[in-house]
Amino acid sequence: MSTPDGVASFAELDLPATLQKALQEVGYETPSAIQGRIIPHMLAGADVLGQAQTGTGKTAAFALPILARLDLKQKQPQVLVLAPTRELAIQVAEAFQKYARHLPGFHVLPIYGGSDMRGQLRQLERGVHVV
């Protein structure tokens, strides 16, 4: 049953079973307000702009529909996520890994200053889906 915030449970979302399983494993039961509002629109292919307080699930709100729509056969980047700090870039990459744990062949690469650029380029050349 839908709520004013969108959907009442992750099961109501049209997410692949692999993502639903990952959500269950990390203990996510009910979408936050931003997740309930944004995920259905992103799954439908719409562009969205969301704003919410820290800790409300914004990363999952954009990462889950992105993962649902990726073509894992393509080994070149399909998504670019911009983050204001190295720490946040790493957190976002870790979140993608957590949600994609049952997507075989998925690769995410956080690229940021102050680290080995050649190593990052080698990883990029090997193939990643999300940068």
pLDDT in tens, 34-77: 999 999 999 999 999 999 999 999 999 999 999 999 999 999 99
Give the DSSP per-residue string, 56-106. SSHHHHHHHHHHHH--TT--S--B----SSHHHHHHHHHHHHHHTTTSTT-
- Angle, vertex CA 54, rays to CA 60 and CA 50, nearest 5: 60
In a domain? residue 96:
yes
Total domains, the chain: 1
What is the pLDDT, as a whole number, of residue 6?
Answer: 64
In a domain? residue 1:
no
Question: Which residue has tokens 């190295």?
Answer: 86
In a domain? residue 131:
no
What is the pLDDT, as a whole number, of residue 8?
Answer: 81
Which of these ranges, 6-15, 35-44, 68-77, 105-114, has the smallest mean pLDDT?
6-15
**Mean pLDDT confidence for 123-131:** 95
In a domain? residue 87:
yes
CA 52: distance to chain centroid?
Answer: 16
CATH of the domain at 122: 3.40.50.300
Q: Are the C-beta atoms of 36 and 3 separated by less than 8 Å?
A: yes
**Mean pLDDT confidence for 12-20:** 94
Q: Are the C-beta atoms of 82 and 116 separated by less than 8 Å?
A: no
In a domain? residue 2:
no
Range of the domain at 100: 10-126
Q: Is the pLDDT of residue 25 over 90?
A: yes
What is the pLDDT, as a whole number, of residue 2?
Answer: 46
- Angle, vertex CA 26, rays to CA 40 and CA 59, nearest 5: 45
